[in-house]
């Protein structure tokens, strides 16, 4: 899904990610690349213009903070703006207090309307425990009624159908009566599509609407058709009211233009995404998760989020000062270790470190038990020893090993590794690249 867009945006953002400072030129260059990537993804050009100008405006106003470097902040901004572009919050269906809630499905022929009708029935009955019926009013597309009978039953819904000879408006009205009689919570009405938005289609929709007074009208558009899908949605929005969009065939959409433009162009949110041929391939649409998927940086983004929550600015300054003066002690180390461990299993955290994602180091298996041992050893030291690890020799070593249930060798190793780590960290402070291999070898 959205592979080429993801690749391009990731490429651009990878370029800024590690940057300690960004000039206006850097930002302009990144915006040009983002603009091109979005246009190539078939995003509506007005939407692209608006998007890049908001990102740029915010990027220019970035202030240096301890938590995130400017590159990371740009990623954060792009992520937030992408989320906003797709509607921000995820939207849902509002159920009528007087069941059945009637949902009308509209869309062009082949958009995936009938499939989506059954998928939605399945989702609502499974997730909300609703008893759902579907009405087969697509009498024009050959086999649509038979198809709904089949997939509707697979979805566990009651199917109301009267073949293909009856009038769709009559079928809809009759189905509503049946749903009331059967005490259904939800009735989903599958209507006929056409090849293009035309007057006959709109008139029929209007008549069905008049007859069943739907609580929710959903428009199904085929994501694979990109801007065409957006144009269809825009035409529908002009002549027929709808409340939200179902984006179908998202699994086959390598570009993402429809997903990114539909909300901005029509003002209507995407409520659901259909992502495959199977009935279960259907989900509530979450703009934030979609943005993360597009950026393909789930790891970096959650790192950013966690870093913001966890790192205290003053503390960071103090640590930096200690490192510079070589006053970083085992006590500080223990403190940091505890904080980091609070963020989650270390193995997953390694993959979140910018620049380490994909690196062989990030795939390293961190032995949590080993960390327990390290904590136990530091806790068995006196405060004085923690501040002066070089004193840990002979009997002190033995005492610490006994106290922590470890061996003298293990205590030795910790002290040695800590010393090495301090050197590396000082190196980083002075702008040298650490030799990661050396840290790992201990």
**Smallest distance, ligand GDP to C-beta of residue 48, A:** 26
Q: Specify the DSSP element, H or E, that contains 245.
A: strand 244-248
**410 sits near ligand GDP (criterion: CB under 6 A):** no
- Which member of 15, 92, 156, 276 binds ligand GDP (CB under 6 A)? 276
**225 sits near ligand GDP (criterion: CB under 6 A):** no
CB nearer to ligand GDP: pick between 157 and 411: 157
Task: For residue 358, count CB atoms less than 10 angstroms from its CB and return exposed for 0-12, middle for 13-18, buried for 19 or more.
Answer: exposed
- Which member of 70, 71, 100, 107 binds ligand GDP (CB under 6 A)? 107
**Smallest distance, ligand GDP to C-beta of residue 79, A:** 25
CB nearer to ligand GDP: pick between 154 and 327: 154
- Which member of 115, 131, 191, 329 binds ligand GDP (CB under 6 A)? 115
**404 sits near ligand GDP (criterion: CB under 6 A):** no
Stretch touching ligand GDP by CB under 6 A, among 10-18, 107-115, 341-349, 426-434: 107-115
Binding region for GTP: 107-114, 190-194, 248-251
Count of residues engaged in binding ligand GDP, rule: CB under 6 A: 20
Stretch touching ligand GDP by CB under 6 A, among 276-284, 308-316, 408-416, 432-440: 276-284
For residue 136, what are the β-bridge partners? 190
Q: What span, in angstroms and rounded, lies between the C-alpha atoms of 308 and 324?
A: 23
Residue numbers 124-183 binding ligand GDP by CB under 6 A:
141, 144
Residue numbers 237-256 binding ligand GDP by CB under 6 A:
248-249, 251-252
Residue 312's CB is within 10 A of a number of other CB atoms, namely 12
**Smallest distance, ligand GDP to C-beta of residue 224, A:** 8
**Smallest distance, ligand GDP to C-beta of residue 211, A:** 20
Residue 63's CB is within 10 A of a number of other CB atoms, namely 6
| Contacts (Cβ under 8 Å, ≥6 apart) of 187 | 100, 101, 102, 103, 132, 133, 134, 135, 175, 176, 179, 212
Residue count of the chain, please give it.
Answer: 442
3-state helix, strand, coil in the chain (%, to 5): 60, 10, 30
DSSP per position, 384-399:
HHHH-GGG--HHHHHH
CB nearer to ligand GDP: pick between 17 and 113: 113
Cis check: omega of the bond before 100, within 30 degrees of 0: yes
- Which member of 52, 73, 274, 410 binds ligand GDP (CB under 6 A)? 274
**193 sits near ligand GDP (criterion: CB under 6 A):** yes
Q: What span, in angstroms and rounded, lies between the C-alpha atoms of 250 and 229?
A: 12
**158-160 β-sheet, strand order:** 158-160, 132-136, 186-190, 101-107, 216-222, 244-248, 270-274, 282-284
- Residue 13 has φ and ψ, to the nearest 5°, of -70, -30
Contacts to ligand GDP by CB under 6 A: 107, 109-115, 141, 144, 193, 248-249, 251-252, 274-277, 281
């Amino acid at each position: 899904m959205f592979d080429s867009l993801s690749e391009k945006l990731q490429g651009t953002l990878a370029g800024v990610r590690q940057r300690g400072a960004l000039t206006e030129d850097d930002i302009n260059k990144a915006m040009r690349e983002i603009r091109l990537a979005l246009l190539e993804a078939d995003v509506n050009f007005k939407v692209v213009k608006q998007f890049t100008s908001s990102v740029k405006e915010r990027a220019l106003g970035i202030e240096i903070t301890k938590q995130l470097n400017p590159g990371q902040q740009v990623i954060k901004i792009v992520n937030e703006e992408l989320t906003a572009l797709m509607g921000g919050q995820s939207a849902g269906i509002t159920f009528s207090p007087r069941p059945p809630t009637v949902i009308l499905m509209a869309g062009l022929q082949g958009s995936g309307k009938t499939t989506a009708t059954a998928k939605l029935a399945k989702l609502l009955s499974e997730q909300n425990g609703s008893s759902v019926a579907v009405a087969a009013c697509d009498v024009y597309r050959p086999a649509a009624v038979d198809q709904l009978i089949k997939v509707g039953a697979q979805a566990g819904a009651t199917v109301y159908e009267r073949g293909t000879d009856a009038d769709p408006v009559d079928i809809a009205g009759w189905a509503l009566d049946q749903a009331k009689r059967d005490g259904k919570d939800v009735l989903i009405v599958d209507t006929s599509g056409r090849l293009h938005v035309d007057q006959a289609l709109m008139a029929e929709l209007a008549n069905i609407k008049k007859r069943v007074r739907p609580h929710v009208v959903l428009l199904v558009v085929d994501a694979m058709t990109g801007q065409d899908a957006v144009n269809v949605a825009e035409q529908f929005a002009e002549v027929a009211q709808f409340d939200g969009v179902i984006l179908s065939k998202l699994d086959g959409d390598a570009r993402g233009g429809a997903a990114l433009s539909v909300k901005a162009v029509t003002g209507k949110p995407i409520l659901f995404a259909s992502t495959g041929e199977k009935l279960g391939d259907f989900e509530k649409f979450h703009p934030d998760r979609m943005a993360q998927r597009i950026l393909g940086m789930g790891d970096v983004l959650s790192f950013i989020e966690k870093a913001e929550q966890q790192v205290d600015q003053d503390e960071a300054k103090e640590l930096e000062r200690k490192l510079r003066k070589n006053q970083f002690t085992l006590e500080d180390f223990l403190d940091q270790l505890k904080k980091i461990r609070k963020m989650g299993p270390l193995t997953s955290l390694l993959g979140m470190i910018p620049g380490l994602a994909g690196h062989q180091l990030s795939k390293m298996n961190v032995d949590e038990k080993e960390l327990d041992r390290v904590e136990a050893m530091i806790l068995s030291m006196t405060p004085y020893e923690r501040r002066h690890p070089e004193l840990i020799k002979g009997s002190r070593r033995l005492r610490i090993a006994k106290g922590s249930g470890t061996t003298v060798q293990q205590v030795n190793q910790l002290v040695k590794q800590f010393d090495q780590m301090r050197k590396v960290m000082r190196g980083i402070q002075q702008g040298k690249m650490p030799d990661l291999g050396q840290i790992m070898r201990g």
